[in-house]
């Protein structure tokens, strides 16, 4: 089973909750994997401190000329919807950051002169945090497109009866979609501010568009207005927990310590959340 922890807005507490849930479930003896799909800024490793870490590089295809067979038709340039390839006489220039790796240029080359080579865009690191499996994607600085790396890091998670917790990137665009797709439950983390509410509603729209069952957690629940609860009620999305604002949580987070290991109060809240998540995800969407 796969639970995607997401939010429209950044900084609402996705990583706090995703790492805490994964820790508690794993401590309870469940087969858990934590997947950090926020590949532009993955932070889960700071808290879970994975051991026995191995890594592999991830590549995407980009076009490359085969020998000197280009006769300069310029069909590749015409075919590319992303302006990623320029035809220059008997050669081509490829703008790697713009290339989507779709293969249209190779298909359209009448000389059959375009091959594809692999270009590295990031790393997947995997290891263990005690009994928990850990995996994260790390996009190379300067790379623009994170979705291919996100798809790769999420691929296969939650299989073989394992419980996967996916720590998703913020937003509602292609990178967020790549992370939440295929989840059995979308757990939305929000906060009771106008920002939290606004971005929550966007995330709900994303969940609906992808047909995902949803549940919510309100973080810093005691700081703001009830508007976010009313909105969730109206959307018929169950609120499984309200986490109060506590300076000790913020301080433990700032020092990259696991709050569940320090605060029995917080551990209790996350444990209860975990129980209702398992009940919720087992039921009808």
- Binding-site ranges for another protein (CB under 8 A): 8-12, 15, 40-41, 43, 46-47, 61, 79, 81-82, 97, 100-104, 107-108, 139, 141-147, 169-177, 191-195, 198-199, 202, 205-206, 209-210, 220, 223-225, 245, 247, 250-251, 253-256
In whole angstroms, the minimum distance from the beta carbon of 112 to another protein comes to 14
Q: Of 61 and 74, which CB lies nearer to another protein in the complex structure?
A: 61
In whole angstroms, the minimum distance from the beta carbon of 256 to another protein comes to 3
**Cα–Cα distance, 97 to 143 (Å, whole number):** 6
Q: Of 107 and 131, which CB lies nearer to another protein in the complex structure?
A: 107
In whole angstroms, the minimum distance from the beta carbon of 161 to another protein comes to 25
Residue 80 burial class via C-beta count within 10 angstroms: exposed 0-12, middle 13-18, buried 19 and up: buried
Q: Of 35 and 163, which CB lies nearer to another protein in the complex structure?
A: 35
Q: Of 43 and 157, which CB lies nearer to another protein in the complex structure?
A: 43
What DSSP element (H or E) covers 198?
A: helix 194-209
Strand partners, 121: none
Please answer whether residues 82 and 100 qualify as being in contact, where contact means their C-beta atoms are separated by less than 8 angstroms.
yes
In whole angstroms, the minimum distance from the beta carbon of 193 to another protein comes to 4
In whole angstroms, the minimum distance from the beta carbon of 110 to another protein comes to 12
C-alpha angle 78/80/85, rounded to 5°?
A: 90
Q: What share of the chain is helix, strand, coil (3-state, %, to 5)?
A: 35, 30, 35
C-alpha angle 97/103/106, rounded to 5°?
A: 110
- The dihedral over CA atoms of 29, 35, 41, 44, expressed in degrees to the nearest 10, equals 10
C-alpha angle 167/279/32, rounded to 5°?
A: 40
Q: Of 213 and 224, which CB lies nearer to another protein in the complex structure?
A: 224
Q: Of 10 and 159, which CB lies nearer to another protein in the complex structure?
A: 10
In whole angstroms, the minimum distance from the beta carbon of 279 to another protein comes to 28
In whole angstroms, the minimum distance from the beta carbon of 104 to another protein comes to 4
**Cα–Cα distance, 98 to 285 (Å, whole number):** 38
Neighbours of 116 (CB within 10 A): 15
Q: Of 189 and 269, which CB lies nearer to another protein in the complex structure?
A: 189
């Amino acid at each position: 089973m796969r639970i995607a922890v997401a939010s429209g807005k950044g900084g609402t507490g996705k990583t706090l909750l995703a790492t805490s849930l994964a820790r508690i479930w794993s401590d309870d003896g469940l087969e858990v994997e934590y997947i950090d799909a926020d590949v532009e800024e993955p932070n889960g490793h700071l808290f879970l401190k994975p051991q026995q870490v191995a890594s592999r590089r991830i590549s995407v295809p980009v076009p490359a000329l085969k020998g000197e067979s280009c006769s300069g038709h310029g069909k590749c340039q015409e075919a590319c919807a992303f302006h990623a390839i320029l035809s220059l006489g008997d050669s081509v220039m490829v703008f790697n950051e713009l290339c989507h790796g779709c293969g249209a240029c190779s298909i359209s080359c009448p000389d059959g002169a375009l091959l594809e080579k692999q270009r590295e865009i990031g790393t997947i690191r995997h290891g263990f945090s005690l009994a928990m499996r850990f995996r994260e994607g790390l996009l190379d600085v300067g790379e623009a497109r994170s979705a291919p790396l996100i798809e790769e890091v999420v691929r296969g998670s939650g299989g073989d009866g394992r419980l996967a917790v996916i720590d998703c990137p913020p937003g509602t665009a292609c990178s967020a979609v790549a992370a939440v797709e295929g989840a059995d439950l979308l757990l939305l983390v929000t906060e009771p501010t106008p920002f939290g509410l606004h971005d929550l509603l966007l995330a709900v729209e994303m969940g609906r568009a992808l047909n995902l069952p949803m549940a919510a957690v309100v973080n810093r629940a005691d700081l703001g207005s009830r508007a976010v609860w009313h909105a969730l009620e109206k959307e018929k999305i169950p609120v499984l927990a309200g986490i109060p604002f506590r300076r000790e949580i913020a301080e433990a987070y700032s020092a990259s310590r696991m709050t569940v290991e320090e605060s029995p109060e917080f551990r209790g809240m996350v444990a209860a959340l975990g129980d209702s998540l398992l009940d919720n995800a087992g039921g009808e969407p």
